[in-house]
Structure 1
Amino acid sequence: MKGYRLISLISLVVALVACSQPPSQTHLPTSPEVIVTSEGVRHFQGQVVVGYQDETALQEAIAKMEATEIARIPELRAALLRVKGDALKASRVLKGLAGIRYAEPHLAQVLPPKDDPVEQPRHRSDALQTLGNPSDQILDELPQYALDPRHLSAKAAWDQGFEGEGVVVAIIDDPADVTHPDLAQNWAGKAYDPVTDTTYTTASGWLSFINNNPNLYHGTFVASAVSAARDGQGIAGLAPKTKFLPVAIFQPGYVGDFYVARGIVWAVNNGAQVLNNSWGGLGYGHLVKEAFDYALANGVVVVASAGNSYKDEVRTPAGYPGIIASAAADGNRNKTAFSTFGRHISSAAPGLDVLLANPTWLGGGYGLISGTSFSGPYTAAAAALIKAACPKATPYQVRRALETTTWEQAFSREKGWGHLHTGNLANLLSQGCSALPTPGSVVKVKVEYFNENGLFPGLFADVMLRGKGLRAGDPTDSTPVYWARTDTNGEAWFYEITPGEYDIYVAGADLSLTGGLPEERGTFVGTLVATPGSTAGSPTFKQVRLNASEVNLNPHDPYEPNDGQAQATPLAYGTLTQLAYIFGQPRDFDFFTFSGSAGDEIRARVYARSSIGGTLDSYLYLLDGSGNVLAENDDIVPGQITDSEIVFTLPADGTYHLVVTSYTIASSPTASDNSPFNKYRLQLVKAN
């Protein structure tokens, strides 16, 4: 690097690209793109998801990021864009842009179900015997303990006429086999690939898409728990007269949050009344939450498996408001060791060694398999029994009908309200739809910041609703707790939640994003009453104002313009600058100048994201008076402390320059990084 002369900013950038090293990333092949991990977030390389208010805002966002459009979901006003460079950092460029509700990298936090060791099937097609099984476990041809009178009690529901007829259940998973003998007659006639936006209406076309992939078996097992026909052969699903719609979100890798959201919307628009989601991960995605909100707002029941983490924790999508989270139970109706659990769990269903259908491209027949992936579809099937009997039942009414008819009818963090019992459920349904529980609530919270400078949108705030009377630490306490994040309009939505009185807790923008002092974040504690029967069109509304620093989307840099040697800001040893920004132009380089003597050991430190918050992954250069790069640094501790520091002994008396920019800009001659949260302070000391 040494010996290159700084003739212009462009030549500096070109020279730096040759020696800059990219941050450590994990590359995993998937379809159709490459997944990377940046700042601990798994996402698709070079892809950003944008929620927009109107076409003008979207086009402005595209121009600002120099992006190209890949696809969009009109119902959600969301677009998938391709960008150059780091998608995580590119998404931050749009923070606060008028008309943009959110911008996030195209998330890939979910792993394929086959990666979960408890979900591997054990194929038993030729070895299954009915001998030794109680006769009440033979509901079709093969023994199914999950459906017997000591577990789900399926026959008690069927005998009263509750089999799910007329209800369509979407299987949002890997591609379910529509030709399996137990599933063919209950296929709804459509199947969907959200990546190519292709709807298949023939079995041959769908099988051609699947292409005999040995890693695609999960969706078939899941679909059969719901919709396997009761026809005297093989097995029966819990709702044997439902129709199922396959939506392929694993191909075999996870297709990404955008395509999952597109698949959810497609399923709702194509008649699904119940969505089963036997998948999940960690983190929070605005787009997927909005997609599920779209389903809930349209009266569609959403079920999600709790996860197989063995922990008391909240995973998504099971933890989103309004979703029915299912834990897995064993043959004794106890929670399995592997099942995720917690206050958010609604109920439990069999999930250990359940007998389900194996896809024909893997030999057909049946197999034993374990995981909350299979308690989930049993729960979705029970929900379908309700929707068939009471089509106008709201998602919350369906949830409470399931919860109030369990074996236990009492709450625990391990199984929610208990193990499902469709015989009890049928007894409730036989009383008519007026016997269903009270409808739930839809809550909208609007957050604003105020201070001596005025009133500002409540961007990036966290909102928690905690039911009154919560007993912290009590494992039998069912008091609901919900959490959501505001968009750039300051709005947070809670669909289909428990009616009643809540304590509401709001915290202003996360300082890990915006930077600043803890007292600048601002908090609010108050109450609200969620009204039964409130809807998306007429929600329970709460206005919250935080006495907090506004999220400054157009900050002033006191040292600008300092974009070259001629404009460099003078520094003296012992100086710590005011807050400055890499902001205001796509490729900002901030120049500072100082005088030094031969033998001076200088220490130049950039305090940025790792120390003061914000988004700046800094990069620092030391130049001599002729513009030669003497030293440079990206991270003080690679992968851990992303601030920059140079310790260097000056070779001669003279004038020197320190140049601050971002890693994104330094690593590519065309990449831009222009976030209002790219804040830093520069310190220069003489160490000897």
Structure 2
Amino acid sequence: MNKLFIFALVALLTVCAWAENGLSVSQQVDNMLFQGRYADGEIVVKYTEGSFAAMNVNTSAVKDLGNNTFCMKLRGDMKKTLVQLLQDPSVQYAEPNYLYKTMAVPNDAKFGQLWGMKKIGAPEAWNTKSKGNGILVAVIDTGINYKHEDLKDNVWVNEAEANGKAGVDDDGNGYVDDIHGMSGITQSGDPMDDQSHGSHCSGTIGGSGNNGIGVAGVCWEAEIMGCKFLGADGSGSLEGAVLCINYAVANGAKVLSNSWGGGGFSVALYDAIKNAQDAGVLFVAAAGNSYNGELSYPANYCLDTNHNGTVYKGLDNVLSVAASDQNDSKASFSQYSVEAAKAGKMIAAPGTSILSTVLGNDYASYDGTSMATPHVAGAATLVWSNNPNLTAIEVKNLLVNSGDTLEWSADWWGPKFNVQRLNLNNAVKQSK
């Protein structure tokens, strides 16, 4: 049997497999292009091991994202190229380079009390445990203001780069001078924030406590890695998100805080989060701010998803976070999932008028599931530090099961359902 015949047979079987899902390859590409915003003329492709990345694709640039996955800037027609790639047996998946945005809803700066910390029982927990040392937490966002007076002592330091030569990739991880993290936008080792969103999230996780200034995060002491893929306008691409996740996992992060979302299902993003799961990493994700009863992505990866006829199993390391208000009601803007709440895959945390660190040495109050998420990421860090023998799944389950039960409804006329709101004091006590 000659090689040409074998190749044709494999290609035919691949097309038949697509057809069995009830959709033609062209229809599946249409679904991909319809489900969310993407960078025009850019795709993300994963090849089987040993395949040539740019095979039969007319590109102007190709960027290696790791794990045999590449982001390509096309010269040709995007839909035609995707159809072509999905019919190639050497391609595991191909999809648009989707765009994502922050999950915050900034309001006028309000310098109020940290009501959220009181609501989750943080002051009581701090009598037992206040330091999150030993568990590296990555904030995948707009970066981190690592010079802020209330953050600088709790920012991760990559000792190999800090003690190495300037302008040299001393640790050989592909990023030069990545002392505090990296930027997936510029492919550099500088995660400095230029928007405030990531710094705000970082302050809730690990604003220095008991230092006489500013705010106190869930962890008074912490190691926060900055992974920047969202720009000054609060938006970023699938390409950057994958780079950040892969970097954080490869460099030892155990908790990933993700206050962003958008688009629809992405196989590349699912793949990156699954790799994090396989590495024992917890992925905490904002539910979204679109006022509805469905989770945004990446939070929705906690649930089974039928994507173009293929069922992708929900990822056990994903914990979605909805926002609660001062009265323990669902924040008006917060997305949620009754299914995820019942299955212990969603938790609530304070997300309105949350005061935290921003650019300069300043502070501001924001609303959003973005603000709820770092409460949970910080709690995961503190709990895990209290018992390093726990697994990521055990930490997730502990946070949910130790929470306070709230009764929510979708709308004032809608059916009621229960959701667990984070209780840090209970979680710390039960972690030993």
Matches within 5 A, 1:277-316: 277-316=258-297
TM-score (norm 1): 0.49
**Secondary structure of residue in 1 paired with 2:384:** helix
Structure 2 distance, partners of 1:412, 1:169, is 33
Structure 1's 166 and 277: CA in aligned 2 closer, same or farther, altered over 3 A? same
Structure 1's 367 and 309: CA in aligned 2 closer, same or farther, altered over 3 A? same
**Secondary structure of residue in 1 paired with 2:93:** strand
- Alignment partner, residue 98 of structure 1: 89
Structure 1's 421 and 162: CA in aligned 2 closer, same or farther, altered over 3 A? same
Structure 1 distance, partners of 2:128, 2:86, is 55
Matches within 5 A, 1:216-365: 216-230=195-209, 231-253=211-233, 254-320=235-301, 321-322=315-316, 323-342=318-337, 343-345=339-341, 346-360=346-360, 364-365=361-362
- Alignment partner, residue 199 of structure 1: 189
- Alignment partner, residue 117 of structure 2: 147
- Alignment partner, residue 133 of structure 2: 165
- Alignment partner, residue 180 of structure 1: 148
Deviation digits for residues 107-143 of structure 1 (CA, Å, limit 9, x no counterpart): 22x2344xx6xx1142246xx5xxxxxxxxxxxxxx3
Structure 2 distance, partners of 1:266, 1:416, is 36
- Alignment partner, residue 58 of structure 1: 52
Mind listing any 5+ residue stretches in structure 1 that lack a counterpart? 1-36, 129-142, 201-205, 433-688
Structure 1's 40 and 302: CA in aligned 2 closer, same or farther, altered over 3 A? closer
Structure 2 distance, partners of 1:417, 1:396, is 18
Structure 2 distance, partners of 1:47, 1:390, is 43
Task: Please say if residues 42 and 107 of structure 1, whose CA atoms lie closer than 8 Å, have aligned partners that are also in contact.
Answer: yes
Task: Please say if residues 139 and 201 of structure 2, whose CA atoms lie closer than 8 Å, have aligned partners that are also in contact.
Answer: yes
Structure 2 distance, partners of 1:365, 1:38, is 40
Aligned letter for 1:176? Answer: I
Structure 1 distance, partners of 2:418, 2:94, is 34
Structure 1's 273 and 292: CA in aligned 2 closer, same or farther, altered over 3 A? same
Task: Please say if residues 335 and 415 of structure 1, whose CA atoms lie closer than 8 Å, have aligned partners that are also in contact.
Answer: no
Structure 1's 324 and 353: CA in aligned 2 closer, same or farther, altered over 3 A? same
TM-score (norm 2): 0.77
List structure 1 runs of 4+ shifted beyond 4 angstroms. 37-41, 409-416
Instruction: Please state which structure has a larger fraction of its residues in helix.
Output: 2
Matches within 5 A, 1:543-554: none
Structure 2 distance, partners of 1:87, 1:344, is 35
Structure 2 distance, partners of 1:199, 1:157, is 35
Deviation digits for residues 239-282 of structure 1 (CA, Å, limit 9, x no counterpart): 22111111111112433101110111101112211000001114
Task: Give the deviation of 1:67 after TM superposition.
Answer: 2.8
Structure 2 distance, partners of 1:357, 1:287, is 32
Matches within 5 A, 1:468-483: none
Structure 1 distance, partners of 2:288, 2:36, is 19
Structure 2 distance, partners of 1:88, 1:43, is 13
**Secondary structure of residue in 2 paired with 1:397:** helix
Task: Please say if residues 165 and 242 of structure 1, whose CA atoms lie closer than 8 Å, have aligned partners that are also in contact.
Answer: yes
State, as a whole percentage, how many aligned pairs show the same letter: 25
Task: Please say if residues 48 and 90 of structure 1, whose CA atoms lie closer than 8 Å, have aligned partners that are also in contact.
Answer: no
- Alignment partner, residue 70 of structure 1: 62
Matches within 5 A, 1:208-607: 213=194, 216-230=195-209, 231-253=211-233, 254-320=235-301, 321-322=315-316, 323-342=318-337, 343-345=339-341, 346-360=346-360, 364-408=361-405, 417-429=419-431, 432=432
Equivalent residues, number = 353
**Secondary structure of residue in 1 paired with 2:94:** strand
* Higher Rg: 1
Q: Which has the higher contact order (CA 8 A, sep 6+)?
A: 2
Task: Please say if residues 330 and 408 of structure 2, whose CA atoms lie closer than 8 Å, have aligned partners that are also in contact.
Answer: no
Structure 1's 415 and 180: CA in aligned 2 closer, same or farther, altered over 3 A? farther
Task: Please say if residues 407 and 421 of structure 1, whose CA atoms lie closer than 8 Å, have aligned partners that are also in contact.
Answer: yes
Structure 2 distance, partners of 1:411, 1:58, is 52
Deviation digits for residues 422-441 of structure 1 (CA, Å, limit 9, x no counterpart): 11112212xx3xxxxxxxxx
Structure 2 distance, partners of 1:348, 1:218, is 20
Task: Give the deviation of 1:403 after TM superposition.
Answer: 1.1
Task: Give the deviation of 1:171 after TM superposition.
Answer: 0.7
Task: Give the deviation of 1:313 after TM superposition.
Answer: 1.0
Task: Please say if residues 187 and 245 of structure 1, whose CA atoms lie closer than 8 Å, have aligned partners that are also in contact.
Answer: yes
Aligned letter for 1:123? Answer: A
**Secondary structure of residue in 2 paired with 1:122:** coil
Q: CA RMSD in A?
A: 2.2
Aligned letter for 1:344? Answer: A
- Alignment partner, residue 575 of structure 1: none
Deviation digits for residues 56-99 of structure 1 (CA, Å, limit 9, x no counterpart): x234xx2322235521122x220112222332331111113122
**Secondary structure of residue in 2 paired with 1:393:** coil
